[in-house]
Amino acid sequence: MNPYDQYMKEIAQPMRNELTEAGFSELTTPEQVDEFVTSMKGTSLVVINSVCGCAAGLARPAAKLSLEQEKRPEKLVTVFAGQDREATSRMRDYFEGIQPSSPSMALMKDGKVLHFIPREEIEDFEVEEIVNNLIQSYNKYC
């Protein structure tokens, strides 16, 4: 691994941990993404993680806070844009008709996207607004 890749891996680890410690499973390869999506039953929250400030200050905190509800997705997964590029690209393949966006969040059921929150609905929004966006989708689909 070259020094840049090693540095980025070390920098990103706490950002990964923030979600995995909240119960998210990381999908780091295209094969893991395919296995997850093709075997998916029920609802899942997919977080496209990122090193950007809006991921740190808004997306990850909102994703975690949204899970404090009784109605919530059955499964929680994450892919890391810019780190696990192939896995992220494969997950985006399943987001049919949706432009790539990171950070972003998708509520999926049985392999299909039911609700999507792109970066444009994260950046410049308050954490509470993003949490409410997620909770509304949970109440509708979970």
Q: Which of 8, 12, 22, 54 is catalytic?
A: 54
Q: What is the DSSP letter of 24?
A: P
30-54 confidence digits (pLDDT tens): 999 999 999 999 999 999 999 988 8
93-139 confidence digits (pLDDT tens): 999 999 999 999 999 999 999 999 999 999 999 999 999 999 999 99
Verify whether residue 142 is a known catalytic residue. Answer: no
Verify whether residue 54 is a known catalytic residue. Answer: yes
Q: Which of 52, 55, 91, 127 is catalytic?
A: 52
Mean pLDDT confidence for 63-67: 98
The conformational region for residue 86 under phi > 0 = left, psi -120 to 50 = alpha, else beta, is alpha
pLDDT of the residue at 67: 97
pLDDT of the residue at 68: 95
